[in-house]
Structure 1
């Protein structure tokens, strides 16, 4: 019976360990800080780290992006002009 119990217990423990989010462990560390200013500082640091992770990355070169868009617009206009000269249904 011990072997059967071990066969079911080990996979269950592994699944549980994988499903536990690492952020919860960090959050619990702050929760157990006794002094209020240190605990609030810990929560503030976590909040800042989370905000930094969620912040989208800004494009490195806006001038180049604008120039690229202009070039694409010119290319599109040239294609549209050439399409208008095609006889449809002739």
Structure 2
């Protein structure tokens, strides 16, 4: 029973490994296209896909920056309040 399982499992795992190509390999496929217009169209599609992936991340980073600035201002206010309580020239 185990030998039959191995007969089917090994090819299935090999097919899975081959089908799961990394993104870098997909990006490199454009350079192998011989026709220049098709190759340039491929590069353009890749640029559009990358831009679409990066676009939603920008507002999250901006929100994080605003939150960081707000926290820094609160910390600064706390420091200024504590400095005001220090006797200068007593």
- TM category, shorter: 0.3 to 0.5
TM-score normalised by length of structure 2: 0.42
Q: What TM-score results when the alignment is normalised by the length of structure 1? A: 0.42
